Each structure stands twice: as structure tokens, then as C-alpha cells.
A and B are shown apart, each in its own frame.
Chain A
Amino acid sequence: MKSKKRNRDAMWAVVFLAPAVIGLCVFTIYPLIESLIISFTSWDLFTDKVFVGFQNYIDFFRDATGLKVFRNTIFFTFVAVPIQVVISFFLAVALNQKIRGMRFFRGAYFLPSIASMVSISIVWQWLFNTDFGIINYVIKALGGTGLNWLTNAKYSIWTIIIVSCWKGTGYNMMIFLAGLQAIPSTNYEAAELDGCTGLSRLFRIVVPLIKPSTLYVCITCVINSMQVFDQVMIITGGGPARSSSVLVQYLYENAFDYYKMGYASAIGWIMAVFIFVLSAIQFKFMNSDDYSVE
């Protein structure tokens, strides 16, 4: 009797899990395996695949353009992630206070994260416009000289960084806010009794206690930054002269403009391994069960 019920329960579990598992297999696991196989071939979609072993991977590390976009992507990640983490943390600290209009400000800072990246990028493209953009207008009004944001190789990558940070900060702020609100008030009271207030309390009490939130924000920011694409395609197109071109854009071009499916798949796997390594490093250094305050 009991085993019949157990079997029936198991059957229903399988029935309810099946759609998700089938979806995972069809849309995630199968494409992953297929792309890995394709990465060891030379294939243009129209002719048969030709096995080339690790040649695509070797070619990437000999490809001057590929290495350039890889460096751009790493630069973007190592600049945009700290900026987002720091700004969103301090915003969360500020909005964790009982101040008038707190709810309005939380909503206002979170709004960019729910807007479409495509529409945001189009708007920012005009904000960065050399002659008509508001940014240069303000700079000139303050007595400065407007910059060629999108047609100067030195500045183009920074336009992507600015837009990405502006959009991503709100969501990360909410993650930190949740972490801050999970800290028991007794910790603050105990700290106050010991004379630990202000910045000292922030860095010795709060920061260690929200390490899990920080780890989550850092890892997701790194993953998102390594995969940046939409804003690059729309705002700068990767130019000028590949100065703002990134790995995912290069992967897209190789796959759908040059029809080098094998090479594009190899780029995807190189990126995936790199992201995995970065995430593993972050886990090792930041993931700890020791949340003791200093």
C-alpha cells in the first residue's frame, strides 16, 4: 500500500518535472554538446563539417583581432564590475536609511534595470552625440570641450562602460539592500555599545556580514560583463577600429557574417572557460563560512 503510494507520488513528480527537464535537455544541454562538437570542425552551414581538431582554438590565440577583442572584454569587465559593485553598495547603504522619499529613490534607481537595453542604447547613442548630445552640451556649458565619444578610439569603450554601469547598478543595489536588511539589528546595537559607529561600523560590521550578497553581485556582474553585446552593437558597433568590440560581438560576426561556425563555437567555449575560471577564483577568495565581524 505504502509502496504503491510512493510509486504514484514518484510518477507525479516525474510528470511535473518532465517539461522542465525536457526543456533543459533540448534548449540547453543538447545545444551545448552540439556547439562543442562544432568547435572541433570547420563548417560554413552549407557544406559538410570537416573535423579539424583543436585548430579553431589555436587559431583564436593567433588571431590579432580575436586577441584584441578579448583584451577589450577583459578591460571592460575589470573596470565595469568594480564600479557597479561599489556604487550599488553605497546606494544600498544610503537607501537603507529611514529618509523621506526612500521608496521613490529605490524605484528610480531600479528603473533602468527593467528597461530594454536596446531602447536605452539608442537613447544613450544620442546623449553621446558629438554635436547634439546633452553630455557634450553640459561639458561645454561648464567651459570644457566636448568629446568625440563614439568616434574616438580612446573613449568609445568608456561609453559602453557608462551605459552598462548605469543600467546594472539598480538591480545590484536591490541585492545589497536585501543583504543589508537581513543583518540583525542586534549587531548594530552591540557595535554602538562598543563605540563602533559611522564608517568604522560600515567596514567592520556591515561589509563582512553581506559577503554572500557581495559574492553574488560580483559573480553575476562578471558573467554579464563578459557577455556584453546589445549596447556594443547599437552604440558603437564595436568601433572605431575595434576599440569597443567585444567577444560576443566577434563570435556573432564569425558565425553569421563570415559563416565560420566552428571558429565561432570555439570562441564561445573559450569565453565560457574563462568565465568559469574567474567565477571559481571569486568563490575561492570570497566564499567563506566565516562571517565574523572584525
Chain B
Amino acid sequence: MNKKLVSSLACASMIASLVGASAPVAFAEESHDPVSLTFWGWTASDFESKSIQAGLDDFQAQYPWITVEYMTVPSADYHTKLKTALASGSGPDVFYLDATQCNDFVKANLLMDITDIAADFTVNMTEASLQKVSMTDENGDSHVYGLDICNVGPVIFYNKDLFDAAGVEPMPTKWEERWTWDEFVENMQKLTVVDDSGNTVQYGTCNWEEQYSLYVLQELLDLNGANWYNEDMTAAENVDSAESKEVIENIKALRAELGVAPDPNAAGSDTSNSPTAMFLTGQVATIAIGSYALQEIAQSDINYGVGLFPTFGKDDSDAFMVSADMKCINVGSEHPEEALLLAEYMSSPEFGIPIYQTGLWMPNQKALYEEENIPQWFNEEVYPEGWENLIPVFLNAKDKPTDKLSNVNSINDAVDEEMQAFYYADQDADTTLQNIESRINSILGN
């Protein structure tokens, strides 16, 4: 009996050692109970969702004991549903979070503080990325609440064929060679085509009246030296400056006076996640939009180029701002270690490079902007001519200031309402800007 027992144990240990030798080194010493994680992202384009799923499949192959359920929520309701789910205890383990929501989610104690446990990871983030994912507490200490994978900034995509037909030179991609606003308007007028009946059959540009939470308005204000907030983002001030007024009047004039931009309703579907139908069908020559649009434009038949926003002639050398989502961990996650593994993986070059190659995002890590590493993600079939000039612009970008606001949903809605009154209901610019300042301060409790 004893001999049988000993020989059985010997066989079992031989088998175990063979299995252990073939398993990944990390797991040789311990077995892992199966873990199921939930990851939420907003519904974006099909291309983005597929890219993310492919990355998650790779993660699960590397960590076979972890199963990740990927759920998408319509982007218009995403943060509402996310916050409600987290409040009820049924929220995901890891999730996208728009950087503008970080402050409110931190105050509601929904995000895991990963300052120390992710220190090695965050040290290589670009400055804009690090600004995005961190908040400062009342003692002045910085805490990291998410991991970043990408940066998205405002650019202008244009239809090269329409430019050639109108005899307009390609848009500049070097910061020092940007068009002035007047040059931009002049070129858009050349690109606007009106038929004999007086109907505009081709517009020069579109999307300048997009919602405040996105890129266009904030970028133009910064380019013209207009700053709406105090240093710690606790109050609005100088909103009704001459610079602000110039910006919003210029935007409105594109459509209302010059006729080079269409009615936003005519421009098609929601532009916060995909370019407008008019641009994709060649009825608009240019579109001002976040750089994320490149992924979808690259899939279309359009012969496209890229350019930078025009300058107002001010000292705007640091006026390029970026933002995008963070990967955050639910403070109530039952599997915080695995959740951190997933968040780190989804913020790593391994996950990001295949997506950077599609044009959806620009990298978040300084190392990827070094010359020898650029070829890893710079796909020449996607990135148009001149994009290499944008690389240093993205590397040296700053985070959008509104990423540090509180009650950001209320503020965005209030600004959008006043801007719509200006654009579409004949409210004058001075009243609009004064109302904006007053309402933001009311929301911030001032």
C-alpha cells in the first residue's frame, strides 16, 4: 500500500512539473482562480470598437484566467449610465472616462487612487496625458486616478480634390506657417460653390459651432488669448473679453454672413464621434474636428489632407490643447489587481500601437515620440502628408483646461445654451458672454 502511494505521488509530481515548465513563467509558482472583469467604453465608430475588442482578445490570451466582458454604451448617455451603475454597485471594473468628468467622479469617490501602484507606468506619460489623469487635493498633493492611452487634438481635415479644383493651396501643417483667420476665410470662400438657383452645392467648411465640451471653441479661444477661468478653475472671469467676442463672432460669420459653412442641422449626424456625412460625401471641403476623425476618414474614398487651425496673430505658441479618455478603475472593484492589469494593458504601447496605426489616437507616451520609435505607429497609408509636422505639436501639447472643472455637465449645458442663443436666436455677443460667465459662476457656487 505504501509503495503504491509513493509511486502514485511520484507520477503526479512528474506530471505537475511538466505542466509547470510549459506554463508562462509568471504563473509557474501559483495558480489563479478565474476572474471575470467588465470593461465599459462608449459606442464609437465600428472601427474603434473592433480595435478595442482585438486588444482585449490579446489581453485575455496573455492572461488566460481573466475574462473581460466588453460593453459599449451610447456615448450621449455614457457618463450618466456609468455614474448611475457605479452608484448602485453594478458598475464595471475598468472603464473609459472622459477627462472632463474626472473631478466629479473623484468627488463622488468612484475612482481608485492609483498614484503609487501605477507610478512606474505614469512616469513615461506625456505632460498633457499626466495632467489629464491627475487631480490635486486641498494640500496641493497630486493624485493619479486613471491611466492614459492617447491624445486627441483639434485639426482640420480637407478634401484635396476639392482644393485642387478650386485652386487652393494645401493647408499648412507647420505651426509657424499657419494661415491667418482672414486667409482661412478667403480660401473657404473660394471653396464654396453656389449654383445658378442660388443654392449652395458645396460649402467651404463645417463644424465650427460644435458643442463646448469638444475641441473647436476652446482651441479658438486659446489661440486668441481668451481665458475664461481663474488659475485653479474655481471661477469664471474675463469671459466677455474682446478676444472672446472676436472668436464667437468669427465662428458665427462663417455661416450667417459669409455662407461658407452650412446649417449644423444640414451637416448630418452627431459629430462628436464621427465626421459629418457632408464631408464624407464631398459636399464640404474642410471640417474642423478632433483628430480621432482620421480613422473614419482614412476608411473612406476621400483624397484627404490635414491642416492646423488658423492663427489670430497672437502669441499662441503653446495654444494646442489635447484631451481624450482615461482608463479608470472602479474603487469598488472586487478584483483590483486584475483590474489594474487590464487598465495598464489598455494604456500600454502594445495595446495602443495597432490603434495609433489606424489614426484614431495619437500616442500618450514620450518614448513613442522619439524618432527611432515613430515608425512603430506612424502608418503612412493612414496619416496624410504633413502629419509628421504635427508630431512635435502633439508632444508639446497641454491638457484642456476644462478637464479640471467641477459640475462639468451643468457648465457645458449652460455654455451650449447661451452659444446657441447667439448662433441661432440673435442674442448679441456681449449678452451671451456675460450670461456665460454669470451662469458658470452660479454653477461653481460663486
Contacts A129-B265, A131-B262, A131-B263; is A256 near B84 (CB within 8 Å)?
Answer: yes
A190 and B153 alpha carbons, distance in the complex (Å): 79
Contacts A240-B421, A258-B409; is A44 near B265 (CB within 8 Å)?
Answer: no
Q: B410: CB under 8 A from chain A? A: yes
Q: A130: CB under 8 A from chain B? A: yes
Q: B115: CB under 8 A from chain A? A: no
B417 engages A239 (CB within 8 Å): yes
Contacts A130-B266, A259-B83; is A240 near B423 (CB within 8 Å)?
Answer: yes
A149 engages B424 (CB within 8 Å): no
> What number of A-B contacts does a CB cutoff of 8 Å give?
65
Q: B425: CB under 8 A from chain A? A: yes
Q: A201: CB under 8 A from chain B? A: no
B80 engages A46 (CB within 8 Å): no
B423 engages A258 (CB within 8 Å): no
Which residue of the partner chain, among B109, B110, B264, B410, contacts A151 with CB atoms under 8 Å? B264
Contacts A44-B108, A256-B84; is A241 near B424 (CB within 8 Å)?
Answer: yes
A150 engages B409 (CB within 8 Å): no
Question: Which residues 401-419 in B have Cβ within 8 Å of A in the complex?
Answer: 407, 409-410, 413, 416-418
B421 engages A151 (CB within 8 Å): no
Q: A29: CB under 8 A from chain B? A: no
| Residues in B neighbouring A132, C-beta threshold 8 A | 266
Encode B352-377 as 1/0 by CB contact (under 8 A) with A. Answer: 00000000000000000000000000
Which residue of the partner chain, among A129, A149, A257, contacts B409 with CB atoms under 8 Å? A257
A46 engages B425 (CB within 8 Å): no
| Chain A residue nearest in CB terms to B108 | A46
Question: Which residues 233-263 in A have Cβ within 8 Å of B in the complex?
Answer: 239-243, 253, 256-259
Q: A45: CB under 8 A from chain B? A: yes
Question: Could you tell me the distance in whole angstroms from the C-beta of B87 to the nearest C-beta in chain A?
Answer: 5
Contact size range, B? 20 to 34
| Residues in A neighbouring B266, C-beta threshold 8 A | 129-132
A130 and B264 alpha carbons, distance in the complex (Å): 9
B80 engages A45 (CB within 8 Å): no
A241 engages B407 (CB within 8 Å): no
Q: A200: CB under 8 A from chain B? A: no
Q: B427: CB under 8 A from chain A? A: yes
| Residues in A neighbouring B407, C-beta threshold 8 A | 258
B413 engages A253 (CB within 8 Å): yes
| Residues in B neighbouring A259, C-beta threshold 8 A | 83
B424 engages A258 (CB within 8 Å): no
Shortest Cβ-Cβ A-B pairs, 10 listed? A241-B421, A153-B425, A131-B266, A240-B420, A241-B420, A240-B424, A130-B263, A130-B266, A46-B108, A150-B265
Q: What are 19 A-B interface contacts by the 8 Å CB criterion?
A: A45-B87, A46-B87, A46-B108, A46-B110, A129-B265, A131-B262, A132-B266, A148-B263, A148-B424, A149-B265, A151-B264, A151-B265, A152-B424, A152-B425, A153-B425, A239-B416, A240-B424, A241-B417, A241-B425
Q: B-side interface residues toward A, CB under 8 Å?
A: 80, 83-84, 87, 108-110, 262-266, 407, 409-410, 413, 416-418, 420-421, 423-425, 427
